[in-house]
A and B are shown apart, each in its own frame.
Chain A
C-alpha cells in the first residue's frame, strides 16, 4: 500500500484553522503520509510562514465535514451585514446585483431566505465519494457565520475565484487527545478530498505502517530506552530477599502464553512442564506469575487470567500446585476477582470460571466488580460529551456527570487497588488478582496497588518501570486494540476501552491527595495518555511482546522513554514538590475526595492560564527555596572556613 494513493489532495491554500482558545489562523494546508501541517503566511504570499499545526494523523479520531455550496449566489452587503465587513469580507461586490439579494434587501430584518442553506453534515465517507451531486446542488445561502469570514485584508485576491464559485467546506477534526480543530477550506471538492484523505490515513491499521517506523529524530539513538527496565533486574532485587522465586524461560518462544513476555517470575518449586500445563488451564495461557514482591513482609501479588473450569468444574493439579506453593504452611491468600460473583459464575458457561473453594482451600475469593470493555468506553464517551457542552446548566451538568459513571469507575478501581494493597501490607497475605483475560482490570489493580505500596514506583524512573512491567512489556495490555479509537469516533466500537486512561486518572487522584509523594506531575500523565493513543514512539505499539517482536518494534522505532528521559525534557515532567515518602499512601476513596480530572477532560475547553501561572509560581518558589538553601549552605561553608581560621588564630 502506498500512502500516496490515500492522499487525494496534498496541499490546499488559504485554509482557516480554528480551535477552542486559539485565534484563527489562515495558511497552507499540507497532507503528508503521517501528518497534517498548516503553515501560515504572515508576511503575505510567498513569504515562508510559521507552522501553526503539526498534527499526527493517527491522532484524528473523527472527521466531520460540512459543505456549503454557495453556487450562483453571493451574500449581499446590506447594512445589516456590516458585521461581516468588519471582518474583512473579501467576496466580490457584484453579487449585490443578483436578484436574490434584491429580494433580501426588501426584507432588512433577515428573511427566512437567510436561513436557507444546504449543508452536508456528518456525511459518511462512502457517501461523500459517491453521489456528490447531492452536495453540489446549488442552493442560496445568504450569511456566513462570522467565524467563517476570511480574516485577510480586502486587498487579497479572492481565494475562491478560480474554483467553483463560492463553495467552501468546514472539516472538524476531533482528536484522540480530545482536542477539536476546525479547518475552513475554500472549494468544496478540496474539502471533500482533504476529509477523505485524513479519514483514510487515520484508519490505516497496520502496525508497520505507523509513524514510529518512519520517525527518526536526530538527537536520539534508535536503541536507547528500550532495555531500561529488564525483568532480570527486578528479579535480582527479589532474589536478594528470598529464594522462593525463579526466572523462568518457559515462554521463550511465546509458546505457553502469547501475551506474556519470554521471561516470567514464578515459584521456584514449580518446573516449566508444570507451568505449561497450568497455562493450558488459564485463558490465553496466562498462568499465575509474580507481579509484585512486598519487601516489608515478603508477601507477593500474583496475576493471571481466569481458570478454565468450565461448566464441568474442571481442575488442574499443576495450577493448584502452583498457587499452593506460594503460601507457606498455614498461610492464607486472597484471590481478588475483578468481576462480580455472578459474572464469574456465568463465565463457566463459556469455558471460564473462577477458583472453586474445594480445589483451592487456602485461597479466599473476594469479588470486586470493575467495569471494562464497551461500558467503560461508553462511560468515557459520555463524559467527554458532557465536558464539551459548556452550555449545560448546573443540574444538567451534574446529572450527566453522574450518568456517565466515570467517577464511580475511578472510585471502584482505587478501592479495589487499596484492598489488594491492604491484604498485602496489613493482612500480610499473598494476593492473586485476575478478571477474565487478565489483561485489563487485573493490570489496573496490580499497577495501582504497587503505586500505593511501593515508594520505588513513585519516582519517574520507577513509574516507567511499573508501566513496562504492569502494562506494556511484561503484562501485555492490548494497547493497539484498546486505544484504537478515543471518545469521538463514530466507528463501530470493537475492542476499545480506556483502561489505561482510567489508570492514569487514578494516579492523578493519588497525586492530588499526596502532592509530594509522586516524583512526576500531571504533565507526564497527559503525555502518556496522548502517546498511548497516537505517538511518534514505538512504546505503546502492538498488543503484546510477541507482536512487538514480530514487527521488530524495538529495532525500528524509538522508545518514548528515551525521549522523556533527556535532561531538558525530563525537567518538564518532574513534580517540584516531590520528596521521597517511604510510607504506604492510603488514599481516601470517599466520593467527596474524588475529583474530575480537569487537566485532562477540560484541557482544550477552558483556559488554564491562571492555574498554569500559579503552578509556575510554585515551581519558582520551590526552586528559589533550593537555591537559597544552597546559598546559605555556601555561606556556611565560607563562614566555617573563616570560623576555623578564627579558631586557629585563637589557639595561637
Chain B
C-alpha cells in the first residue's frame, strides 16, 4: 500500500482503442492494493489486476488532460485521459511499482482468500495427481519404472522428483547421462502410448560440442529404444532450426551425432527460439492494435510478424511426432536447448493429438500440470511474474494454447472444453492469483511452500466447468482411433481474434452460436427435470382425480385452453429463457462502434458545409 499515493481520480476518460474520433467514456478511477478499477458513469466496471499490467506509458500532455496507456498481458489495452497531470503522475508511478513485484510473497496469490478452509485447500491441490496419471498411461510396467534418482532434486533441479525411466537404465547411466545434458535434464518419459508401446521422452540438448561423446547417454537412448518392443528404431527430434543447433556446438552444446547412437533417426523441426517468438508477438500486437487498419495492412502485418508461421511450425512438429508413434510405433525423444520451452510445446501437443483424455477438461489440466508445470517450464520468467530480465519473457505457453485453439477449430466435436477455457487459463497464467503457475520449477515451489500459502486454480475451474464445456463435444468422436490428424495446410491457421481482441467488443460477432447452444442444452436439462416433476405431480393428482375425470370428461376438457394461458407452469417458463435477450442487447450495437461511421465524419470535417452531419454523429455517440 505504500506505493499508492492517490486512490481515487474523478472525471477520467476512457478512450475507445480503435476509434479515430477520440470517443470516450467518463468515469472514476480507483487504485486498490491489487486492482485498478474504472467505474463508468453508467456504473459499468473495468477491473485490471496489477499483475496483468505489462507496460504503463504516459503520453505527452494534451488539452484534455494527461493520457495514460496501460497494456496488459491478457492483451487488454486501455487508454485513460486523466484531467490533472499530478494525478496521472501519481497513478503512473504507483502502477509502475505495483505491477513490478520483487518477491513471490507479494504476489496476489498470497493475499487472495477464496474462503476455503485448509482441508479444502489441500484437497484442491490433490485434485491433479500425476502418479495417478502415469498409472493411467500404463506405467510403471515391464519396461518402464519409477526412478527415485532425483528424490532430492540432486540430479536435476528443474525436474520433478518422480521420474519414469526405462527399467534397463541403471542409476549410473542416469547420472552419467544427466551430466552430459544441459542443466542435467536427462531423457525421461513424458507420455507412454499403451497400444503402440511407444514413448514420448524429453530432455535437453547434449553437451556434445564438436566431438564429445558420453557412453552413459548413448546407453540411456538405447535403453529407451529397447523399452519399445514394437520398434527398435527411435526418433530424436531436435525442435530447433538446424542452424541454431549448430551454433550451440561452439558453446560445447549441440545435438546427437547419429553415428554415435545406435538405432536413432535424427530430425530437426525448426521452431524458433524464445526471442524470435517474443518479437513476433510484439509485431503482431502492433499490427492488430493499429487504428484504421486496412485489410491489406493487416494481412501483410500478419505475414511480417511471422506469428502464424510459428504456430504452424509448432503444430507441424507435433504432427511429425504423432506420426512416428502412431504409424511407425517408434519412440521419440524430443529436445530443444534446455528442454522446457519448445520441448514442452511439442510433447504436450503430441500427447493431446494421441490421447483423447487430454481433450477433456480434467485431462487438459493434467496435461498442463505434467508437461508444463512439473517439467519446469519457467512460468515465472516467461510471464514476467517477478520483476526480472525482459529477455526471458516469451509467449511460449500462449502459443501452446493457440495451437490447441486451432485444433478445436478443426475438430469442433473433439474437445470437451471450449475457447473460454483456454482464455481463462491464459488469464490465470498471468494473474498470479493461484499458486499453480508461480515459480519456475517444482523445487522452487516446494521451498517457498506455495501449496500451503496459495490455492490451486483447477478446483475453481472445475467448479464453474459449465462455462467451459463445449456443447458439441462428442466423447465417441472418431472412436476407432482416438488419434487426431489435423490438416496443417497454411490456410487452416487463423488469427485468434478472441485472444488478441478479447476486450474489444465491437470486433466480435454480435451473436454467439456457442452460447446459444450451451444455453439450449442447459434449458433442455432443466425442462427434462421439469417434465419429470410435472409427471410425478400428474401421477399424484391423477390418482386423486381419476374418478372425476371418468365421470365428467367432457366438462373438464373445454376450459383447458384458458387454463393453459394462465397456468402457473407457463409463468415458470419465462425465466428459463433469458438467453436470447441477453444476446440481443449486444447486437443492436451502435453504428458508432464501427468505423464506417467515422469515415463519414472525416469526410464531413473536410467539408464544413454539412454541419448537420456532425451533429448527427454527436447524437450518436452519446
List residues of B whose CB falls within 8 A of some A CB: 18, 288, 293-300, 302-303, 306, 308-309, 312, 410-414, 471-472, 474, 487, 489-495, 497, 500-501, 506-513, 516-517, 520-521, 523-524, 527-528, 530-531, 534-535, 537-538, 541-542, 544-545, 548-549, 552, 555-557, 559-560, 563-564, 567, 569-570, 580, 583-584, 587-591, 593-597, 599-600, 603, 609-610, 612-613, 616, 620
Contacts and interface: CB of A to CB of B under 8 A. Distances in A.
B474 to A, nearest CB: 7
B471 A621 contact: yes
A593 B527 contact: no
A637 B530 CA distance: 14
Contacts of B563: 640-641, 643-644
28 contacts: A393-B490, A394-B309, A394-B312, A396-B490, A425-B591, A427-B616, A514-B510, A516-B583, A584-B588, A585-B510, A585-B587, A589-B595, A591-B293, A606-B492, A611-B412, A618-B472, A621-B524, A622-B520, A624-B524, A628-B527, A628-B528, A632-B534, A636-B567, A637-B564, A640-B563, A640-B569, A642-B538, A646-B548
B528 to A, nearest CB: 7
Contacts of A414: 596
Nearest to A652: B548
Nearest to A620: B472
A644 B296 contact: no
A275 B512 CA distance: 48
A364 interface: yes
A442 B501 CA distance: 33
B524 A583 contact: no
Contacts of B596: 414-416, 418-419, 422, 589
A401 B564 CA distance: 58
Contacts of A593: 497, 507-509
B527 A646 contact: no
Contacts of A401: 299
Contacts of B494: 595
A635 interface: yes
Nearest to B556: A645
Contact of A418 (B295, B520, B591): B591
B545 A398 contact: no
Contacts of A398: 299-300, 302-303, 308, 490
A590 B471 CA distance: 29
Contacts of B294: 408, 411, 591
Interface of A: 332, 364, 366, 387, 390, 392-399, 401-402, 405, 407-408, 410-411, 414-416, 418-419, 422, 425-427, 512-517, 577, 579, 581, 583-596, 598, 602, 606-607, 610-611, 613-614, 617-618, 621-622, 624-625, 628-629, 631-632, 635-646, 648-649
Contacts of B309: 393-395
Given A588-B506, A592-B501, 20 more contacts: A394-B303, A395-B306, A408-B296, A415-B596, A415-B599, A426-B591, A513-B511, A515-B511, A516-B516, A589-B594, A591-B298, A592-B495, A610-B411, A621-B521, A632-B531, A636-B564, A637-B564, A641-B560, A642-B541, A644-B559
A650 B495 CA distance: 66
A635 B531 contact: yes
Contact of A641 (B489, B556, B593, B616): B556
Contact of A364 (B298, B306, B474, B610): B610
Task: List the 3 shortest-distance A-B pairs measured between CB atoms, nearest first.
Answer: A614-B412, A591-B298, A402-B299
A586 B592 CA distance: 10
Contacts of A588: 506-508, 593-594
Contacts of A645: 541, 545, 548-549, 556
Contacts of A517: 511, 587
Given A514-B587, A515-B511, A585-B587, A635 B490 contact: no
A378 to B, nearest CB: 15
A644 B531 CA distance: 18
Contacts of A586: 589-591, 593-594
A59 to B, nearest CB: 24
Nearest to A613: B413
A427 to B, nearest CB: 5
A639 B569 contact: yes
Contacts of B548: 645-646, 648-649
Contact of A638 (B509, B510, B538, B613): B538
Contacts of B600: 366, 419, 422
A586 B508 CA distance: 12
Nearest to B572: A636
B593 to A, nearest CB: 7
A514 B517 CA distance: 15
Contacts of A628: 524, 527-528, 531
A592 B591 contact: no
B567 to A, nearest CB: 5
Contact of A610 (B297, B410, B591, B594): B410
A648 B557 CA distance: 11
Contacts of A622: 517, 520
A637 B560 contact: yes
Nearest to A390: B489
A586 B609 CA distance: 27
Contact of B295 (A407, A577, A617, A629): A407
A644 B491 contact: no
Considering residues A514, A606, A635, which has the most beta carbons from chain B within 10 angstroms of its beta carbon?
A635
Nearest to A584: B588
A598 B588 contact: no
Given A332-B612, A588-B507, A645-B549, A583 B413 contact: no
Given A583-B587, A588-B506, A643-B541, A635 B411 contact: no
B445 to A, nearest CB: 37
B591 to A, nearest CB: 5
Contacts of B500: 592
Contacts of A618: 472, 513, 517
A594 B599 contact: no
Contacts of A408: 294-296
A581 B516 CA distance: 15
A614 B413 contact: yes
Nearest to B478: A610
Contacts of A410: 295
Given A418-B596, A639-B537, A631 B545 contact: no
Contacts of B507: 588, 590, 592-593
Nearest to B490: A397
Given A598-B491, A640-B569, A610 B413 contact: yes
A590 B297 CA distance: 12
A513 B510 contact: yes
Contacts of A594: 295
A640 B472 contact: no
Contacts of B591: 418, 422, 425-426, 586
A310 to B, nearest CB: 25
Contacts of B535: 635
A628 B517 CA distance: 14
A579 B308 CA distance: 36
A418 to B, nearest CB: 4
Contact of A629 (B410, B527, B537): B527
Contacts of A644: 556, 559-560, 563
A646 B560 contact: no
A16 to B, nearest CB: 26
B511 A514 contact: yes
Contacts of A397: 490-491
Contacts of A611: 412
Contacts of A635: 531, 534-535, 538
Contact of A596 (B491, B516, B531, B560): B491
Contacts of B593: 586, 588
Contacts of B564: 636-637, 640
B544 A649 contact: yes
A457 to B, nearest CB: 17
A418 B590 CA distance: 12
Contacts of A587: 594
